[in-house]
Amino acid sequence: MEMSSKTARQIYQDVINNPARKKFGFGNKAVLVNIDLQKSYTRTDLFATAYETDPLQLKYVNELASEFRRLNWPVVWTQVAYMNSGEDAGIWGTRTDTPDSLQNIKFGSERGEFDDRLTILKDQDVIYLKKMPSAFFETQLQSLLVWHQVDTVILTGGSTSGCIRATAVESLSRGYRTIVPEECVADKHESYHFSNLTDLSLKYADVLKVAEVKHWLGQQK
């Protein structure tokens, strides 16, 4: 195993700046999948489970969503919430049982609400409830992508090391070009965040600056 004294951020920058790094590239049509941008994960002033990597994350997400709607391409939002019993969290909900534990994001609770700073058009956008890390797992996301003849999946939200990674791996496994705008994903600690961006970039996705994603969208009609 290779050893390094560099930080996770430094290793990520080395990977991103490598001119030999080949990209999957954009396809012909994309879906925007915004993962779990709910208060339990975005409101650092309210919940210990929340995190912020780029303070403009939600602004960028709104801008991307606006571009997708202009193109009449699908915009998807996922959220997690569980029964009072927590049984629908399955084995994932058994490690801890505190007010901040996953299974205690209850239906109808503030933790489960989307962040108020988001622009979500509920009569136009698609909203999926999910229980597990991947946005594909036991949701209708795959069917939606087939219906819209999508070949590219663009992911935002969090956490980078959890649900973003899980969805990216499954997206690639299902044959989709997968794009992660760097400023649009977040995690609890920079080590988790950048080490997973590195791994995603090397294996499963193109990790790009949001400006590059917006530029590509701006060229589409």
- Please report, as a single letter, which amino acid is at residue 70: R
The answer to whether the CB of 30 falls within 8 A of the CB of 179 is yes
Cβ proximity of 8 and 14 under 8 Å: no
Q: Which residues pair with 30 in a beta bridge?
A: 152
Beta strands in the chain (DSSP E): 30-35, 75-80, 126-130, 152-158, 177-181, 185-186, 206-208
**Cα R_g (the chain), whole angstroms:** 17
Is residue 184 annotated as part of the catalytic site, yes or no?
no
CA distance linking residue 151 with residue 217, whole number of Å: 14
CA distance 73 to 140: 16
Amino acid at 206: D
Among positive and negative, which fits the CA dihedral 188, 154, 65, 166?
negative
Say which of 58, 61, 163, 179 is annotated catalytic: 163
Q: Is the CB of residue 207 less than 8 Å from the CB of residue 180?
A: yes
**CA of residue 198 relative to chain centroid, distance:** 15
- Residue 164 sits at the vertex; the CA angle it makes with 196 and 211, to the nearest 5 degrees, is 85
Q: Annotated catalytic sites, by residue?
A: 163
